[in-house]
Structures are given as C-alpha cells and as structure tokens.
C-alpha cells in the first residue's frame, strides 16, 4: 500500500468514526424537541451525550486536518467550492456546542426554549449538510483543469443531494434514539425504544431509495461493480439485525448493529470514490485523485510517523472516557447540562 492510499484510508476511517460517534450525538439533539416532554427530560437527553459530544467532534477536525496535510489540492478545491455550506455547517456546530453550556445558565423558560431550539437546529443541519456534500461528491461537481470548482446553486442542490441529506439525517436520528435506549432508564428508555421502531420503518426505505438513486446519479456501482453491491448488502443485514434486537429489547446489540450500518454506509461512499477524492462533472480527466491532489512523499512519511505515534494515545483516551461515563443517566441524579 502506498502512502497516498494509506492516507486516503485513514481519512475514510476518520469520517466513518465521526459518523458512528457524532451521529448519535446529532440524533439525540434532534430528539430533544419531540421526545422530551419537559425540561427535566431534555436535560436527561442532553446529559446522555454530555461527556462525549466535544471529543466526538474531534474526529471531524482531525479528518479536515488530515485532508489539508495529506491532500492539499483536495482541501483547497473542496473547502473553497463548498465555502458557504461549510460556513453554515460551522455555525450550526457552534450554536449546538454553545447551547449545551448556556441552556441551564439562567432560570428563564424563554431562555431555555431558545437554546433548546438551537440544540435542535445545530443537530439537524450538520447531518443534512454532510449528506448533501457526500451525495454531490459522488455525483460530480463542475471542477475544471485548474482544480477550481465553480458551482451554482443547482449544482449543490439536486434531487439526489437533497435525498442524500435526508438519508444521513434519518440514519443519525435512528442511531441517536438507539443510543438513548442504552443510556437512560424507565419511561424515557421505553419511549425511545418505541420511537426507534417507528423511525426504523421510515429510515430504511429512505436509505433504499438513496441506494437506487446512487445507481443512476453516480458511477460508484460501475467503479466497484462487486465491492459496492456487497457492502450495501452488508448494510442491509446490519439494519435487519438491528431491528431484530430492537424488537427483542436487546438495546446494546441493536445500537451496535445500527452503528455498523451507518459506518459501512459511509465506508461504501469512499470505496466508490477511490482512487478519486472529487469527481469532475465537466471531464473525468479533471478528477482529483489520491495522486494529483496529494502532498509530497516526504510530507506523507513524516505525517505517517506522527500519526502512528499519537493515534494509540488518542484512541485510548476516548475509550477510557466512554468507560468512565458508562453509567445510565437517571432523572433522579444531578444534571451537568
């Protein structure tokens, strides 16, 4: 495996980890507006992700940094071409993080209601925008021979990209509801389980439609005619197993298989892209690949040494934090958020 391939793999792993971990954060944030019946229940839901959400976002920051260092041309084209969506995404993430800290700072119903809405908006916009981004990436964007992307509104917003946004949003919502079942107890847990069952019946058809649309709107099936269908079949199996355990009340297994479903879905998009990182809708000769978008060999070598040295400590810390805060959140305990 070349260093170019290795760093593409590492970036894919970072995005897979981000959607697996931050995906349930987004889902929990969305659920606060329609599942919680009072302020106490909203605080319970927010506290289920309280110890984790900021560390989970680090996966996204690391992925962005890795793209910048390993594939500077990819970074330059994507971050300039998607400038406005990324600004909206950043503002939504900031609003969500601030809301977690601000909502309990003042004993005012209006104050809390405002920040509760910011939690919801900051949780539903990012997965939708990420879905639009990834769908448009595999569909192709107007990138010219200079690696510059000049896209209009209808290049970003298409039927396929909007459906991609809806798909990722629903996957995160389902993931978050199943996370609530393993982090809460009593009535909130049972309500989350019931709602997850309903949402499952909406999410899976939405995902199936996205897969069908991807066949017609992208070339990932043609690029990987064996591996992509195989991975999609595995995704289907994961969500079927998730449903089986959800209906049996085996919440931990339901969450695990649902998480694997969203992780393999994201991985499939990267498999379909490889060795490209961005597809040109103007001419395939203008595609950005892991070769023409990459840094020099010396830079990739130094980055690999640093990553191999530091990665075990980062992973160890995050695993430890999940172990420390493994206890379920109860409405009878003192709330942090």
What are the tens digits of pLDDT across the range 103-123? Answer: 878 878 889 999 999 999 999
Would you list the DSSP string of 134-161? Answer: HHHHHH-B-B-TTS-B---HHHHS-HHH
Residue 324 has pLDDT above 70, yes or no: yes
Distance CA 183, CA 96 (A): 20
With pLDDT > 90 as the criterion, what percentage of the chain qualifies? 78
Residue 336 has pLDDT above 80, yes or no: no
pTM of the model: 0.94
What value does the mean pLDDT take over residues 84-107?
90
- The pLDDT of residue 251: 94
**Mean pLDDT score of the chain, rounded to an integer?**
93
- 8-17, 107-116, 207-216, 322-331: least confidently modelled range: 322-331
Reduced to 3 states (helix: H, G, I; strand: E, B; else coil), residue 105 is coil
In contact, 48 and 135? CB cutoff 8 Å: no
What value does the mean pLDDT take over residues 187-200?
95
- The pLDDT of residue 11: 96
Distance CA 33, CA 39 (A): 10
What is the distance in angstroms between the CA of the first residue and the CA of the last residue of the chain?
46
Phi and psi at 184, nearest 5°, equal: -125, -175
**Confidence tier at 50 by pLDDT (50, 70, 90):** confident
């Amino acid at each position: 495996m070349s260093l170019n391939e290795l760093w593409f793999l590492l970036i894919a792993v970072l995005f897979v980890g981000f959607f697996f971990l931050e995906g349930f954060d987004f889902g929990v944030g969305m659920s606060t507006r329609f599942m919680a019946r009072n302020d106490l229940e909203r605080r319970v839901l927010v506290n289920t992700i309280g110890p984790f959400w900021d560390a989970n976002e680090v996966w996204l920051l690391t992925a962005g940094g890795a793209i910048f260092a390993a594939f500077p041309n990819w970074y330059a084209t994507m971050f300039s071409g998607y400038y406005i969506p990324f600004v909206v995404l950043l503002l939504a993430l900031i609003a969500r993080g601030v809301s977690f800290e601000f909502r309990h700072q003042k004993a005012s119903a209006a104050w809390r209601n405002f920040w509760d809405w910011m939690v919801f908006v900051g949780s539903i916009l990012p997965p939708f925008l990420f879905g639009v981004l990834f769908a448009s990436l595999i569909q192709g964007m107007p990138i010219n021979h200079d690696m510059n992307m000049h896209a209009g509104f209808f290049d970003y917003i298409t039927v396929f990209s909007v459906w991609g946004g809806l798909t990722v949003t629903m996957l995160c919502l389902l993931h978050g509801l199943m996370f609530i079942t393993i982090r809460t107890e009593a009535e909130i847990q049972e309500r989350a389980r019931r709602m997850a069952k309903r949402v499952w019946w909406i999410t899976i058809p939405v995902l199936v439609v996205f897969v069908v649309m991807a066949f017609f709107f992208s070339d990932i099936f043609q690029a990987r005619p064996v591996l992509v269908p195989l991975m999609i079949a595995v995704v289907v199996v994961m969500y079927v197993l998730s449903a089986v355990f959800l209906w049996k009340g085996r919440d931990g297994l339901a969450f695990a298989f649902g998480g694997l479903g969203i992780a393999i879905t994201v991985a499939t998009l990267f498999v379909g892209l490889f060795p490209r990182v961005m597809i040109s809708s103007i001419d395939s000769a203008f595609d950005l690949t892991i070769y023409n978008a990459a840094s020099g060999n010396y830079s990739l070598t130094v980055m690999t040494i640093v990553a191999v040295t530091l990665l075990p400590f980062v992973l160890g810390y995050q695993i430890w934090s999940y172990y420390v805060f493994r206890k379920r959140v109860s409405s009878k305990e003192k709330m942090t958020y």
